[in-house]
Homo-oligomer: A and B are copies of this chain.
Amino acid sequence: MGGGRTRRMPRAERERQMLDAAVQIIARHGYAAASMDEIAELAGVSKPLVYLYLNSKDDLFTACIRREAAALTRAVRAAVRSALPADRRLWAGVLAFFTYTAEHPDGWTVLHLQARTHGPRFAAEADAVRAEMTAFVTRLIATAARESPHSRDLPARETEGLAVALIGAAESLADWTNTIPAATAVQAATTLMNFAWSGLGDLMSGEQWTEPVGA
């Protein structure tokens, strides 16, 4: 990467290259097996420079998680910010999510898997993002329910549970879609809407699935 003029590259750009390299290596080999030598080599810089910029392997990993989290939440929030009907708003957010995960498969792996399994420091970062997305989707569902023709107020815990289910379905479909070469973000988003919206839509019309007696 970089050719002959790397020495005069601005710091932000150099740091971006280090994070790009770290995200790729961590996603593919796992955090424990990822080596700073390999990351430096892929970024086209010396290992001491990586330590100078990012301080430690742990700090580098934290910086990767924060960058990927910020980019993903920014993409989803930007798409949803509109005055569309509830299902269109959800569609826009879901499509932005799958577009992001399809375009950044390594970033998605770092955020969704690696961040959650290498100790409490990184898990706390991942939990914070998930809590933010859950709160965002919970508000979206609560607003949609109030705006529905039946103007329903869903119980808070139930609304949060629906948001958690929706986010899990989206995460699972993102992983799956990234394993299928020809799959598109639009297809994944359509499957999720088919799965989720009619369900949420029925709920907002006051139709609930009824638990069997004696279960």
Contact = CB atoms under 8 A, between A and B. Distances in A.
Contact of A212 (B88, B195, B215): B88
Interface string A25-56: 00001111100000000000000000000000
Contact of A209 (B118, B119, B198): B198
Most chain B CB atoms below 10 A, which of A91, A165, A186:
A165
A69 interface: no
Contact of A169 (B30, B114, B165, B197): B165
Q: How many copies does the complex hold?
A: 2
The SS class assigned to the A binding surface is helix
B161 A188 contact: yes
Contact of A202 (B95, B161, B164, B198): B198
Interface string A165-199: 11111111101100000000011101111111111
A119 to B, nearest CB: 6
Interface of A: 29-33, 87-88, 91-92, 95, 113-114, 116-119, 158, 160-162, 164-173, 175-176, 186-188, 190-203, 207-209, 211-212, 215
Contacts of A200: 195, 199
B119 A118 contact: no
Contact of A199 (B29, B114, B188, B194): B194
Contacts of A211: 91, 186, 190, 193
7 contacts: A30-B118, A88-B212, A158-B191, A164-B172, A165-B196, A190-B209, A195-B200
Given A32-B32, A162-B191, A197 B168 contact: no
Nearest to A205: B198
Most chain B CB atoms below 10 A, which of A29, A33, A118:
A118
